[in-house]
Amino acid sequence: MRERREAFRDARLIVIASEGKDTERIYFKALAKEYTNPRVHVHILERSEAEQNNSSPEHVLKQLNDYKEQYALEADDELWLVIDKDRWTEAMLSRVATECSQEVAMYMALSNPCFELWLLLHLEDASSLTPEEQMLWLENRRKSKNADPYLKVRLRQKMGSYHESSYDALSLIIHVEDATERARALDKNPNDRWPQTLGTRVYLLAESVMNRN
């Protein structure tokens, strides 16, 4: 028998499962705190010690499905899958996207190439970049085997300090309205299941957390 989360029944519940272990959790905890709303409760799922390295889209989706089986959700609750495009195959993403589309109130917020794009959009307008610069963002390559990917390096340059497990999310969130507008401008084909070029659907989740949709 599924439990009811009685403490939250006066609020819309937004459940987030993400590919990254820390980066997304840090951001959405800060966003939910900054936009505290008694009508919205954000719950971020964390992986168990045994599942720490299981970050594939299928494993992230399994977290949401396990949660859904354990708790009785209300009609306006939302389940969000936050994943990256970069290292996963089209076939894998397609399977996950299809399952999400078949579930009520389950959504996929994919970033192409990665979540750092969403963070960077708080500070830079990717639409104003040259096509060559946009390609550098999309390819997100490393200068050497042990170097960080391009977007992580650029984010560190813009913020002064950035590590995926420790960064000042609030300094970004003060620009979240800009990030949302910029991400929407990049999303030229919103009917596609995920951005096929440089883009991120995380703005849709951010708007939900801020109670804007």
pLDDT digits (tens, 9 = 90+) for 33-55: 999 999 999 999 987 665 666 67
Q: Residues 6 or more apart from 2 whose CB is under 8 A from it?
A: 69, 70, 71, 72
The structure tokens 């190439």 sit at: 113
Residues of the chain above pLDDT 90, percent? 77
Task: Identify the pLDDT of residue 55.
Answer: 73
Q: What is the C-alpha to C-alpha distance for residues 85 and 64, in angstroms, rounded to an integer?
A: 19
Task: Identify the pLDDT of residue 2.
Answer: 52
Q: What is the C-alpha to C-alpha distance for residues 58 and 16, in angstroms, rounded to an integer?
A: 14
Task: Identify the pLDDT of residue 51.
Answer: 63
Residue 83, both tokens? 């994943």
What sign results for the dihedral spanned by CA atoms 40, 162, 120, 23? negative
Q: What is the C-alpha to C-alpha distance for residues 69 and 64, in angstroms, rounded to an integer?
A: 9
pLDDT-derived band at 1 (thresholds 50, 70, 90) equals very low
Predicted TM-score (pTM) of the model is: 0.92
The pLDDT of 58-63, averaged and rounded, is 92
Task: Identify the pLDDT of residue 174.
Answer: 97
Burial of 125 (0-12, 13-18, 19+ CB in 10 A): middle
Which residue spans within 45-137 are E strands per DSSP? 71-72, 78-84, 106-112
Q: What is the C-alpha to C-alpha distance for residues 142 and 147, in angstroms, rounded to an integer?
A: 6
The pLDDT of 99-123, averaged and rounded, is 95
Burial of 73 (0-12, 13-18, 19+ CB in 10 A): middle
Q: What is the C-alpha to C-alpha distance for residues 60 and 65, in angstroms, rounded to an integer?
A: 9
Whether the bond between 113 and the residue before it is cis, its omega within 30 degrees of 0, is yes
Mean model confidence pLDDT for the chain:
91
Task: Identify the pLDDT of residue 10.
Answer: 74
C-alpha separations of 88 from 55, 93, 113, 163, 177 in Å:
11, 7, 10, 22, 29
